[in-house]
Each structure stands twice: as structure tokens, then as C-alpha cells.
Amino acid sequence: MYEILLRSHSGLRWIALLLLVSAIVKSALSLSSKKPYDSLDNKLSLFTLISFHTQFLIGLILYFISPLVQLAMESGMGVAMKDPVLRYWLVEHLSAMLMATILVTIGRIISKKANEDKQKFKSILIYFGLVLFILLFSIPWPFREALGRGWF
């Protein structure tokens, strides 16, 4: 079960990241060319929201069954916080992904409630852009020394 969830979570990150970048690029292009906010923009932000919530739920399940998190909890918070790998999996990754999911949700809500197309695109650019920044530093990329996971 753990392995299936871990592989799903790792693979689905690409879908979430692709949707996020697509929404940012489309919003930037539409804003600069003064195009109207259409159903594609709405669906893109909705699917981005859904992918982030799905990722977060899978990640939350993984958090409670992860051998690394269990090791960190058994070691005690003092020991875990001194070890960069245990601290990352116990606190940093979860906190960053929770923040990213909240920001995607806020960006989607604000863009839906905005009356002007320009404001809709701006809210997606700002909030989704912040999320992209958080993700680039919080995903356990394969090239991150002890934290890295595979590409998929």
C-alpha cells in the first residue's frame, strides 16, 4: 500500500506541476494580450485546484504511514529537528505543501469572485506564481542530496 501511494504521489506531481505552469503561462499571455477570461481558463484553474487537493490528500496518508516520519516521531522532536532529512519529512515538506495547497485554493476563489477578467488573471498569476516558487524549493527532486526521490 505504501509503495503504491508513494509512486502515485510521485507521478501525480508532474500533472499538478504541468497544470500549475499551464495556468500561469495562459494567464500571463491572456493578461498581456487582453483576452477575456473564458471557460478554458476556468477549467485550467479548477483542474489545478483538484490536482493539488488530490496530491495533498495522498501525501497526508503517506505522512502517517511513512517509515521516515515514524522514525522521526520515535526519535523525538529534538533529535528529528537536528537531522535535516528527518526534519524535512516530518515538518518542512508537509508545511510547504499545505501552504501551496492553501494558496492554490485562495487564488482559485479570488479569481472566481473577481468581476474583471484582468483581476482574474492577476490573482491566478500572483497566487499560482507563489505556489510555483514554493514547489521548486519543496519537492524532493532527484538531485537534492539525501532528500531526493526518483523522477517518478
C-alpha–C-alpha distance, residues 96 and 8, integer Å? 19
C-alpha–C-alpha distance, residues 32 and 142, integer Å? 35
What would the pLDDT profile of 105-145 be if each residue is shown by its tens digit? 999 999 999 999 999 999 999 999 999 999 998 887 666 66
Residue 145 corresponds to which amino acid? E
Query: What cell does 78 get?
Result: 529534538
Q: How confident is the model at residue 148 (pLDDT cuts 50, 70, 90)?
A: low
Q: Coil, helix or strand for 37?
A: coil
Query: What cell does 22 get?
Result: 499551464
Residue with the three cell numbers 499571455 = 29
Region of 140 (left: φ > 0; alpha: ψ -120 to 50; beta: rest) is beta
> What's the pTM value of the predicted model, to 2 decimals?
0.89
C-alpha–C-alpha distance, residues 8 and 99, integer Å? 21
C-alpha–C-alpha distance, residues 123 and 114, integer Å? 9
What would the pLDDT profile of 56-94 be if each residue is shown by its tens digit? 999 999 999 998 888 888 888 888 899 888 888 889 999
Residue 144 confidence (pLDDT): 63
